[in-house]
Amino acid sequence: AQKITQTQPGMFVQEKEAVTLDCTYDTSDPSYGLFWYKQPSSGEMIFLIYQGSYDQQNATEGRYSLNFQKARKSANLVISASQLGDSAMYFCAMRINTNAGKSTFGDGTTLTVKP
Amino acid sequence: DVKVTQSSRYLVKRTGEKVFLECVQDMDHENMFWYRQDPGLGLRLIYFSYDVKMKEKGDIPEGYSVSREKKERFSLILESASTNQTSMYLCASRPPGLAYEQYFGPGTRLTVT
């Protein structure tokens, strides 16, 4: 069974600073994907970034980067130059490589950006 | 732009009522999902479907059923609503394959009184 652990229920960061949101995962399947989603207070889930288990380089998307450490089974999200609009709930998710594979989500981390 | 729509943003129902939550996607995605979201519990998968008329139980299927008669539509049914089914319900869709993210609907906040 797959499991995602997000150990930080809430985080604070000063505007313009970088912040790291932790995510560890557990699976015995060698082929899997890791995802991060953002959920603002309005409720919609927004996809941020994807990392495949065989990808050699860490994924980056604008101000978002994924610090992928396969041996440690961690997939931390790094947000650089935080903005007030980054205040939201962030979810880490994993899916193993089956065609109809279901995703497993963590409990989420609430990020608050302070002005 | 992929669009996933859900029939209601807010719904209030009474205990024992039969409740239908509808989800429609416009991108011809094979896979569709129903989650419920509760504070501190993340997203938990109720049911998913990888093809028309196909369905698979997720992690918490008890008290729910689903229907997928057309590719674009995936319905969640609460046969006899109970107060512990008060929650936010999120529908999602995606193409098959590992690297594809899910596209979520806006959610339905269901209150059962």
Q: Identify whether the C-beta of residue B4 lies closer than 8 Å to the C-beta of residue B90.
A: no
What is the tens place of the pLDDT at every residue in A42-99? 888 999 999 999 999 999 999 999 999 999 999 999 999 999 999 999 999 999 876 5
What is the tens place of the pLDDT at every residue in B24-51? 999 999 999 999 999 888 899 999 998 8
Q: What is the pLDDT of residue B95?
A: 87
User: Taking CA atoms, what residue in B is nearest to A41?
Assistant: B106
Q: Identify whether the C-beta of residue B107 lies closer than 8 Å to the C-beta of residue B90.
A: yes
Residue B19 banded pLDDT, cuts 50, 70, 90: very high
b vs e for A66-85, b when ≥16 Cβ sit within 10 Å of the residue's Cβ? bbbeeeebbbbbbbeebeee
DSSP conformation class of A44: -
CA distances (Å), origin A113, targets A36, A47, A64, B77: 18, 19, 15, 39
Answer whether B42 sits within 8 Å of A107, measured CB to CB.
yes
> Which of B98, B104, B110 should one mutate to test binding to chain A, selecting the residue with the greatest count of A CBs within 10 A?
B98
**Torsion on CA atoms A92, A96, A100, A102, rounded to nearest 10:** -40
Q: Identify whether the C-beta of residue B112 lies closer than 8 Å to the C-beta of residue B15.
A: yes
Answer whether A105 sits within 8 Å of B43, measured CB to CB.
yes
Q: What is the pLDDT of residue A102?
A: 82
d(CA A108, CA A97): 23
Query: Burial, B12: exposed, middle or buried (Cβ in 10 Å; 0-12, 13-18, 19+)?
Result: exposed
